[in-house]
């Protein structure tokens, strides 16, 4: 370059010194720059900025060697901190971003994916104590699917949230005992099964499939993440590392745990134990323990033998198969209806939202509700000018009233991109069993924010007929408890077979575990559940409810004011058969004691050192305190974006008529909205006999957090229902059956709920 000149050394007035090539008055090319404080850089320059390869040493003693761009650490390189820590990997604008390996000053090691200086994606962390975690991270904390192995040999494989066990998982003790169950923020919460050492237990592959991992999510206990870092950590051409990090999913592949010392070679024993024949089973203990926890407190325990549990499992599986066979959509996709239907849903919704989102926002018009307010598209398997190729079968897609539902999503504060990622992301949808008699298929988005339900033709007609009034109602009443609808669609396949479905908000989208679910209509005829069919996630009915819920005076007033408004709206639309879906999160009662596992089963804290806040299996020694209402502080409240973020914050009488948050010790601070995070006390009568056999009244009282909403609002009181009412009235009390005229239904519904949520005496 003709205008580049070489100057051996040049001193600046501020004390800095540069030696190397210049371009005009700026360092350019090769050179060494020494700052007045002793920091120096030697390497490539581009018109006065460090760009290319080089190394820099700060006055503090920290060093970096690798790629630079525009004066920033950018590309791949090695950083050695003044405290002795070392990071080798990808950088972006002075921050670790991409694939890298860091050894901390205390000898902890993390190797995996980074994002803006924090662990994000898949990675492995090895503590200096010997504990190891392999799995997914988010925002610098363990989040998602992963396995933790403690130095004492205990291993947990399952879901995590903010560095704590949260969701379904399996815990393997060092003595080969297993616990299959659920956790909530690090504590056992809900039902689970404990298999002592030497007990035959279910295969982990079957367990993974049952909780939604599928074949691609086989247990990390039998397969683990392998991070191929050696090749990625070989610098040093700029862009070399970034190309590899684009395919991080390939380098974070599954492999044989027998080759990795961080995961014991016990996968063979797991699979073999589950496949033992009758002659081999005699060497195994037949005793297992069914347990139920509340925030780490053991509240129930039942001792059973493995044969009894196996028969129960087979019976339940048979029941589920019979339900599926009765569904009208089963034969549409030739036996693979669930996979193809989910794929078609994702393709259609992605197309619809992508098409309507760029349209300028405007108020809806009457024409937006009409028969012509439809989007139709053909999705051939090979793709077309407007649609991508796919692995499903050819299908036609219809989207109803796209502008109306676009405005509804905006009204409910749903971002279009987040909506598509939630439903159409790579994690897919999860099929769940139907809680009712409708035979509908239900799907949950991977983040639990949305429910997708198949509809019958009369139901979709009812929804479209009432849509203008529904739109006006939810626009006027932001705290409405009525189901929030986000889209109505239809899929048509070869032969003209049609599947109609609606996308709704999930009323139980919460980090708290829902321990009990109730579907309450206010009718009594047939409104109970057979005890043999009750499972952990069974939705119970009116006659199964034995609790009353006492609430703050103002919270209760807000609840029934909105219930009255919503029921009046449904009555005006001639709707019946709706119900209140009620979810209960129980807090551990103060009078319960925490039962620790026997020492032989659960290691002591001395043998299970903490791993970034995560300890081994020890339970709470002191149960957490109850519910506390505090003055609302928006900046400190966890408000997840989604269907529930639209409603206002409620006011409580006990806090001087101020807006309130719910403080849950050990969990967090939650915003109290109508139907969301509502605190209450659940009480029920318990009749016991004293020494003299005289009956006395006792009450069990629990602190609970309530989640609720009005569902199933698509049944009109039509001629069919009138005939049903006349027929059943001859057999049963007319007021006890579900099919009654809308005004009577609404009054009975509210009267029943007033008994469920009585006023404080």
3-state secondary structure 80-136: ECCCCCEEEEEEECCEEEEEEEEECCCCCEEEEEEECCEEEEEEEEECCCCCEEEEE
Question: Tens of pLDDT along 644-677?
Answer: 556 889 999 988 999 999 988 767 788 999 999 9
Count of alpha carbons within 13 angstroms of residue 249, beta-carbon side: 2
Q: Is the pLDDT of residue 45 over 70?
A: yes
Virtual torsion, Cα 345, 351, 353, 355, nearest 10 deg: -160
Q: What is the pLDDT of residue 175?
A: 87
Query: Does residue 547 have a cis bond before it (omega within 30 degrees)?
Result: no
Range in 151-160, 229-238, 290-299 the model is least confident about = 229-238
Q: Are strands 63-69 and 579-586 parallel, antiparallel or unpaired?
A: unpaired
Q: Is the pLDDT of residue 388 over 70?
A: yes
Percent of the chain with pLDDT over 90: 40
Task: Supply 677's token pair.
Answer: 């995070």
Angle 495-496-497 from CA coordinates, rounded to 5°? 95
Q: What is the pLDDT of residue 154?
A: 92
Name the one residue in this structure whose structure tokens are 């009956």.
695
In terms of pLDDT, which residue wins out, 320 or 677? Answer: 677
Range in 62-66, 161-165, 514-518, 634-638 the model is least confident about = 634-638
**Do 323 and 694 meet the contact criterion of CB atoms below 8 Å apart?**
no
Q: Is the pLDDT of residue 267 over 60?
A: no
Q: For residue 205, what pLDDT band results from cuts at 50, 70 and 90?
A: low
Q: Are strands 190-195 and 178-184 parallel, antiparallel or unpaired?
A: antiparallel
Q: For residue 302, what pLDDT band results from cuts at 50, 70 and 90?
A: confident
Would you say the C-alpha torsion 179, 180, 185, 189 has a positive or negative sign? negative
Range in 135-144, 238-247, 375-384, 718-727 the model is least confident about = 238-247
> What is the H or E stretch that residue 204 is in?
helix 204-210
**Do 441 and 433 meet the contact criterion of CB atoms below 8 Å apart?**
no
Range in 66-75, 259-268, 412-421, 748-757 the model is least confident about = 259-268
Q: What is the pLDDT of residue 48?
A: 86
Question: Tens of pLDDT along 574-632?
Answer: 999 999 999 999 887 654 433 333 333 333 333 333 444 445 544 443 444 568 898 98
In terms of pLDDT, which residue wins out, 355 or 488? Answer: 488
In terms of pLDDT, which residue wins out, 306 or 739? Answer: 739
Question: What order of strands is seen across the sheet that includes strand 539-540?
Answer: 539-540, 516-520, 579-586, 695-711, 678-689, 548-550
Count of alpha carbons within 13 angstroms of residue 41, beta-carbon side: 23
Q: Is the pLDDT of residue 360 over 90?
A: no
Range in 160-174, 281-295, 383-397 the model is least confident about = 281-295
Q: What is the pLDDT of residue 207?
A: 52
**Do 421 and 429 meet the contact criterion of CB atoms below 8 Å apart?**
no
Q: For residue 258, what pLDDT band results from cuts at 50, 70 and 90?
A: very low
- For the chain, counts of helices (H) and of strands (E): 14, 41
Q: Could you count the other beta carbons within 10 Å of the beta carbon of residue 731?
A: 8
Q: For residue 434, what pLDDT band results from cuts at 50, 70 and 90?
A: low
Q: What is the pLDDT of residue 634?
A: 79
Name the one residue in this structure whose structure tokens are 């403080």.
663
d(CA 286, CA 213): 28
Instruction: Write down the mean pLDDT value for the chain.
Output: 78
Q: Are strands 695-711 and 178-184 parallel, antiparallel or unpaired?
A: unpaired
Q: What is the pLDDT of residue 727?
A: 81
**Do 477 and 565 meet the contact criterion of CB atoms below 8 Å apart?**
yes
d(CA 718, CA 41): 82
d(CA 679, CA 706): 6
Q: What is the pLDDT of residue 358?
A: 86
Q: For residue 482, what pLDDT band results from cuts at 50, 70 and 90?
A: very high
In terms of pLDDT, which residue wins out, 265 or 341? Answer: 341
| Phi-psi group of 450: left, alpha or beta (phi > 0 → left; psi -120 to 50 → alpha; rest → beta) | beta
Q: What's the per-residue H, E or C state across 713-752?
A: CCEECCHHHHHHHHHHHCCCCCCCCCCCCHHHHHHHHHHH
**Do 314 and 412 meet the contact criterion of CB atoms below 8 Å apart?**
no
Percent of the chain with pLDDT over 70: 74
Q: Is the pLDDT of residue 203 over 80?
A: no
Q: What is the largest CA-CA distance in the chain?
A: 110
Q: What is the pLDDT of residue 295?
A: 80
Q: What is the pLDDT of residue 4?
A: 56
In terms of pLDDT, which residue wins out, 424 or 635? Answer: 424
Crossing angle of helices 402-411 and 457-476, in 10° steps, is 40
Q: In 3-state terms, what secondary structure has residue 463?
A: helix
Q: What is the pLDDT of residue 691?
A: 42
Q: For residue 310, what pLDDT band results from cuts at 50, 70 and 90?
A: low
Q: Is the pLDDT of residue 327 over 80?
A: no
In terms of pLDDT, which residue wins out, 455 or 296? Answer: 455
Q: For residue 738, what pLDDT band results from cuts at 50, 70 and 90?
A: confident
Task: Supply 570's token pair.
Answer: 């449904």
Would you say the C-alpha torsion 581, 587, 590, 591 has a positive or negative sign? positive
In terms of pLDDT, which residue wins out, 15 or 54? Answer: 54
Q: b vs e for 228-252, b when ≥16 Cβ sit within 10 Å of the residue's Cβ?
A: ebeebbebeebebbbebbeebeebb
Q: What is the pLDDT of residue 553?
A: 94
Would you say the C-alpha torsion 736, 739, 743, 745 has a positive or negative sign? positive
Domains of the chain plus CATH, in order, are 8-201 (2.60.450.20), 333-506 (3.30.800.10), 509-590+675-686+698-760 (3.30.810.10)
- Burial of residue 389 (CB within 10 Å: 0-12, 13-18, 19+) is exposed
Q: In 3-state terms, what secondary structure has residue 212?
A: coil
d(CA 377, CA 713): 29
Q: Is the pLDDT of residue 564 over 60?
A: yes
Q: Is the pLDDT of residue 276 over 60?
A: no
């Amino acid at each position: 370059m003709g205008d580049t000149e070489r100057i051996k050394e040049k001193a600046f007035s501020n004390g800095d010194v540069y030696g190397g090539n210049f371009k005009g008055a700026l360092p350019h090319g090769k050179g060494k720059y020494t700052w007045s404080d002793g920091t120096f850089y030697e390497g490539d320059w581009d018109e006065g900025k460090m760009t290319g390869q080089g190394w820099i040493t700060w006055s503090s003693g920290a060093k970096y060697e690798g790629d630079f761009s525009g004066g920033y650490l950018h590309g791949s390189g090695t950083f050695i901190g003044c405290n002795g820590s070392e990071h080798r990997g990808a950088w972006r604008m002075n921050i670790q971003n991409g694939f890298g390996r860091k050894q901390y000053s205390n000898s902890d090691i993390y190797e995996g994916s980074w994002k803006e200086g924090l662990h994000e994606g898949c990675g492995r962390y090895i503590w200096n104590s010997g504990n190891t975690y392999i799995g997914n991270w988010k925002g610098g904390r363990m989040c998602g699917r992963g396995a933790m192995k403690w130095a004492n040999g205990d291993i947990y494989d399952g879901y995590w949230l903010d560095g704590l066990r949260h969701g379904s998982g399996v815990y393997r003790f060092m003595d080969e005992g297993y616990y299959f169950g659920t956790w909530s923020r690090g504590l056992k919460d809900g039902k689970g099964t404990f298999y002592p050492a030497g007990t035959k237990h279910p295969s982990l592959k079957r367990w993974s499939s049952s909780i939604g991992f599928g074949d691609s999510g086989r247990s990390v206990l039998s397969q683990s993440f392998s991070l191929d870092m050696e090749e990625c950590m070989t610098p040093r051409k700029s862009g070399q590392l970034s190309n590899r990090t684009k395919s991080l999913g390939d380098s974070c592949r599954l492999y044989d745990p027998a080759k990795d010392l961080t995961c014991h070679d016990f996968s063979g024993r797991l699979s073999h134990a589950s496949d033992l024949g009758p002659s081999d089973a005699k060497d195994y203990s037949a005793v297992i323990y069914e347990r139920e926890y509340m925030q780490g407190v053991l509240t129930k325990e039942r001792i059973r033998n493995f044969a009894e549990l196996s028969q129960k499992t087979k019976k339940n599986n048979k029941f589920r198969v019979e339900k599926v066979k009765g569904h009208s959509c089963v034969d549409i996709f030739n036996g693979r209806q669930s996979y193809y239907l989910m794929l078609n849903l994702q393709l259609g919704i992605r197309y619809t939202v992508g098409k309507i989102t760029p349209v300028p926002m405007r108020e809806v018009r009457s024409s937006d509700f009409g028969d012509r307010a439809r989007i139709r598209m053909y999705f051939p398997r090979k793709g077309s000018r407007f649609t991508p190729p796919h692995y499903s079968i050819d299908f036609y897609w219809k989207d109803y009233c796209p502008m109306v539902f676009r405005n509804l999503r905006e009204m409910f504060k749903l971002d279009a991109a987040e909506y598509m990622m939630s439903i159409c992301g790579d994690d897919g949808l999860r099929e769940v069993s139907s809680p009712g008699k409708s035979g509908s298929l239900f799907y949950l988005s991977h983040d639990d924010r949305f429910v997708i339900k198949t509809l019958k033709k009369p139901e979709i007609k009812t929804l479209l007929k009432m849509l203008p009034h529904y739109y006006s109602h939810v626009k006027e009443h932001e705290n409405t408890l009525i189901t929030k609808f986000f889209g109505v669609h239809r899929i048509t396949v070869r032969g003209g077979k049609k599947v109609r479905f609606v996308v709704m908000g999930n009323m139980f989208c919460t980090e708290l575990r829902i321990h009990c679910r109730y579907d309450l209509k206010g009718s009594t005829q047939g409104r109970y559940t057979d005890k043999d069919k009750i499972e952990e996630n069974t939705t119970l009915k009116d006659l199964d409810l034995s609790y009353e819920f006492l609430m703050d005076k103002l919270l209760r007033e807000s609840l029934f004011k909105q219930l009255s408004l919503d029921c009046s709206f449904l009555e005006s639309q001639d709707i019946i058969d709706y119900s209140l879906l009620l979810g209960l999160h129980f807090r551990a009662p103060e009078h319960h004691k925490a039962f620790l596992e026997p020492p032989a089963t659960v290691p002591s804290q001395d043998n299970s050192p903490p791993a970034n806040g995560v300890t081994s299996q020890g339970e709470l020694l002191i149960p957490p305190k109850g519910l506390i209402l505090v003055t609302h502080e928006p900046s400190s409240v966890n408000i997840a974006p989604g269907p529930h973020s639209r409603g206002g914050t409620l006011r409580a009488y006990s806090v001087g008529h101020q807006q309130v948050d719910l403080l849950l010790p050990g969990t967090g601070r939650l915003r109290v909205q109508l139907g969301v995070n509502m605190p209450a006390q659940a009480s029920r009568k318990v009749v016991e006999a004293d020494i003299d056999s005289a009956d006395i009244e006792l009450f069990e009282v629990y602190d609970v957090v309530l989640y609720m909403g009005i569902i199933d609002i698509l049944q009109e009181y039509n001629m069919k229902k009138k005939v049903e009412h006349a027929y059943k009235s001859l057999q049963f009390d007319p007021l006890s059956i579900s099919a009654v005229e809308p005004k009577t239904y609404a009054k009975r519904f509210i009267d029943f709920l007033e008994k469920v949520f009585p006023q404080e005496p």
